[in-house]
A and B are shown apart, each in its own frame.
Chain A
């Protein structure tokens, strides 16, 4: 069976684009084959910095005969409709079939596509793939209009040993390719895949990315072992470097003594980002060696290449050392507060003020948060004040990815409390669903304050995420808040810090817009925080609202009527956004959204720890026989009530009269409901949801028996009304635990 070899040789393809390009190449060509009804065997794709390659085995000699039927207009349709159909099918009226349809006679076109040699089909499919290839960024070159990631050199396309003939903007397909650019650049011909692979290998090109990566990893490890050091794993770098070379030759070099005392992360980042080098460390963890991957085997065994790379690295590390020493000098001189001072002139967001203002807000919120996280309030505030200081450091300016980490180093150098230094790094966490969550209370306080401040700020200026657009990573911030709270068991009403943060933003935005306000009102606002700190968090939000509305704030006149309602609505909207992220998180833990909705429906559910505890208990309960049956009983009761309430257009009051309970099973349900109601309330108060569920479980048997033995639709209207009221009681009593009507199943 024939096989297809297709190679596009070009100038150097960016490493980061190669994997996706391989995937697209395979998918697009196979799509063309599928549409032609062609079956195929094994499909492989390859890439090097200069080529993108597809190999498909097990192809047929010819494409199969295809017959396509298309329904056209009715035979009595206007002339125009018929003309259009004929045009689109390329047939004449005589060639159309007339068939009876539900609504009359209809034209049908049966288009027979006879099979043809596969080569002809490929000659149509492949140029289309080249022209429509989805590069993330593509370009034109010379005088042409063709787009590719970089200028195209040549196209090789063979079906077995025969060229599949086509031409794309002057690039004719052929059977030639080229070897390594530096070692063996002359074109050579091939007559099939094996000859191709072999020919490349002889000319210093390893076709398979995985083989290049394996070669790099193995040789790098061996070189490190020989030098008595340990290679630091870096899978992302390995992947990238594998896409930068056709013939990998790892070489090891030494980092000079004067740079070895830089933090290992700095050395690693500098080497990785600028030079694509791997790092290797000695027994004490210091980074002492680098591994560069060359594309050629130097005639002097790479001595010149290593020397050159070491020289470049020296200049790079001299820069890093210069930044490090300048930063340390600054920190030891004036502390991190000094470093942070320049943040006043750095804009965080044009509507949300400078980084310095942001730090002020985070500090106030972190202090507010201390009682609930269990942190020392002074340390939490101090940590927040310095947590963004490193953004003003030279090192972070050069290497933004070192933010936080440098803060930690510099805070330690400034002699700050170890918890404060840790918070400088950890307050960015968690950065994603799998990133670890800090557990030290100071870090938790600052991390929560930072994220809540960000969320509240963007809600205040109504820049919420929409669809796939989330430029400020607010979903990630919300998920971070949730994970910080749940994994640390932080007990608080989330509406409190959210409301307070929102108030601060509204206040600052208002003050910024009306610059004329002279009075240091922010301080006054801060005073409110002090006066109303501690546990009375609900009061704090209320007080802030009333403060803003009062003449002292200086903003009262600018505030719209309905300001207070707006603020409450905004807080509610943000909490709902957080609730959505919580649902996503819990769904991944196997908890369905309806359970969460059933608890949210109780209202005021902004203590996330409690909420999840309740949901967990509910899920366990609904997994039991009692739970399932109770839910069924509830649904039955609710359905009857719903039908009745719809008919009557009124809610049935849950106040049955015990004296009208004439049957034993009716009385039993009466008593069971009374007993459960009494038992559930204290259990809920004690947050003992298991006990509350157990009490609910006791309703199962009486409810089942009731439906079994008692006819709700009694002939006596008084009995009927009373039984409906009894069902309404079921709804009320279970409704203390969750809104069962939201639960599916």
Chain B
């Protein structure tokens, strides 16, 4: 198999896609909403629940408004990409599969030091936790490796194995780039070669300004409350749809509102209007939504409920 060094950010993504497709994952597309991490994609959060088998891989654009640095910091971005793999049940050779993916993107094990360093993962907003590691390549954390134990307050049976690659950081390391904006996005020899900065420098500045200083906090707060209310309303609806007469539990539409609330909370946080004590309360509110959505998902066919 090829272990040549990739030449661009997108080549690394493409190699990961090819690799995990070869290993039997369904290669999904990003979720079409603003999320803080790849874990929020329903293909992970909801599919980790219930007894059904699952294997998916996808790129997920992720937003962390507080990490914005106007495109100036070499490593920090408020919008970045994660590569996410979720396999349920976790296969016994998941570590080897993961290492194979590093090889596929050109990491030579005879030259590099690869380590699995304890890191227990917990998401207070998703009511989820798992055990695993952060994976280091020469001291650099390039991935999170987690065996989900609980999601939305429910024990995971079977257990899913989750891999999350921080794509920019991993790519910068593989490509030997010091500033994220200097990283080749497409092939540097392409007729129109574009760097990461060509694509994202301006947006990083725009969003940093908006996130930190301009976003209207009254509106954001209102949207948060609306999303919360809508989520609860969706879940409170009768399971049997009066129009079709079928049982349709709307776990996914409700979960969309939960995702929205979570992102709005992150925006409010970046605006600095949430005090330490309020923080816990907001996280608790989002968690309550996530748990309710998890409960609802378990009542759906994908969640293992008998088809009505």
Contact = CB atoms under 8 A, between A and B. Distances in A.
Nearest to B87: A142
A436 interface: no
A143 B275 contact: no
Contacts of B275: 345
A298 B111 contact: yes
B114 interface: yes
A299 B108 CA distance: 10
A11 B95 contact: yes
Which of B91, B140, B178 has the most chain A CB atoms closer than 10 A to its own CB? B140
Contacts of B147: 139-141, 150-151
Interface string A278-319: 000000000000001011101110001101110111010000
B118 A308 contact: no
Contacts of B89: 141-143
Interface string B153-192: 0000111010000000000010000100000000000000
A299 B131 contact: no
Contacts of B225: none
Interface stretch (A12-20, A155-163, A662-670, A703-711): A12-20
A80 interface: no
Interface in A267-286: 275-277
A303 B138 CA distance: 11
A294 B113 contact: yes
A371 to B, nearest CB: 37
A308 B173 contact: yes
A298 B112 contact: yes
A12 B117 CA distance: 8
Contacts of A312: 138-140
B92 to A, nearest CB: 7
Nearest to A17: B118
Contacts of A142: 89-92, 158-159
Nearest to A137: B131
A315 B75 contact: yes
B83 interface: no
A244 interface: yes
Contacts, number: 100
A182 B114 contact: yes
A535 interface: no
Contacts of B238: none
B140 A311 contact: yes
Nearest to A346: B276
Contact of B112 (A153, A245, A305): A305
Nearest to B94: A151
How many chain B residues sit at the interface, stated as a range, is: 35 or more
B218 interface: no
A347 interface: yes
A106 to B, nearest CB: 49
A311 B136 CA distance: 13
Contacts of B157: 140, 143
B111 A244 contact: no
Interface in B133-160: 133, 137-140, 147, 149, 157-159
Contact of A182 (B109, B118, B130): B109
Which of A15, A142, A182, A276 has the most chain B CB atoms closer than 10 A to its own CB? A142
A64 B173 CA distance: 62
B110 interface: yes
B90 A296 contact: no
B216 interface: no
B91 A244 contact: no
Interface string B111-126: 1111111101000000
Contacts of B178: 311
Given A137-B120, A141-B159, A304 B112 contact: yes
Contacts of B24: none
B74 interface: yes
B135 to A, nearest CB: 10
A455 to B, nearest CB: 24
Nearest to A290: B139
B139 A345 contact: no
Given A311-B140, A315-B75, A347 B114 contact: no
Contacts of A16: 118
B80 to A, nearest CB: 15
Interface string B55-93: 000000000000000000011000000000000011110
Contact of A244 (B95, B115, B132, B173): B115
B2 interface: no
A346 B139 CA distance: 34
Interface string A333-374: 000000000000111001000000000000000000000000
Nearest to A293: B113
B276 A308 contact: no
Nearest to A275: B139
A14 B113 CA distance: 18
B244 interface: no
Contacts of A309: 138-139
A244 B114 CA distance: 11
Contacts of A311: 138, 140, 173, 178
Nearest to A307: B138
Contacts of B219: none
B110 A151 contact: no
Interface in A231-277: 244-245, 275-277
A439 B159 CA distance: 56
A15 B116 CA distance: 11
A691 to B, nearest CB: 58
B103 to A, nearest CB: 11
B144 to A, nearest CB: 14
A49 B115 CA distance: 10
Contact of B133 (A12, A137, A182, A275): A12
Contacts of B139: 275, 277, 292, 308-309, 312-313
Contacts of B90: 141-142, 151
B116 A305 contact: no
A159 to B, nearest CB: 27
Contacts of A308: 112-113, 137-140, 173
A304 B137 CA distance: 11
Nearest to B75: A315
Nearest to B178: A311
A168 B173 CA distance: 42
Interface in A116-145: 137, 139-143
Contact of A151 (B75, B92, B118): B92
A307 B74 CA distance: 18
Nearest to B275: A345
B81 to A, nearest CB: 19
B140 A304 contact: no
Interface string A663-694: 00000000000000000000000000000000
A138 to B, nearest CB: 8
Contacts of A276: 117
B154 to A, nearest CB: 13
28 contacts: A11-B95, A12-B116, A12-B133, A139-B149, A141-B89, A141-B147, A141-B159, A142-B90, A142-B91, A142-B158, A143-B89, A143-B157, A150-B132, A182-B109, A275-B139, A277-B139, A294-B138, A295-B114, A296-B109, A296-B113, A304-B111, A305-B111, A308-B137, A308-B139, A308-B173, A311-B178, A313-B139, A315-B74
Interface of A: 11-12, 14-16, 49, 137, 139-143, 149-151, 153, 182, 244-245, 275-277, 292, 294-296, 298-300, 304-305, 307-309, 311-313, 315, 345-347, 350
Interface of B: 74-75, 89-92, 95, 109-118, 120, 130-133, 137-140, 147, 149, 157-159, 161, 173, 178, 275-277
Given A244-B117, A313-B139, 19 more contacts: A12-B117, A49-B116, A139-B149, A140-B147, A141-B90, A141-B159, A142-B90, A143-B158, A149-B131, A151-B147, A277-B139, A292-B139, A298-B111, A298-B113, A299-B110, A308-B140, A311-B138, A347-B276, A347-B277
Nearest first, the 7 A-B pairs at minimum CB distance are A308-B138, A14-B118, A12-B116, A309-B139, A294-B113, A299-B110, A143-B158
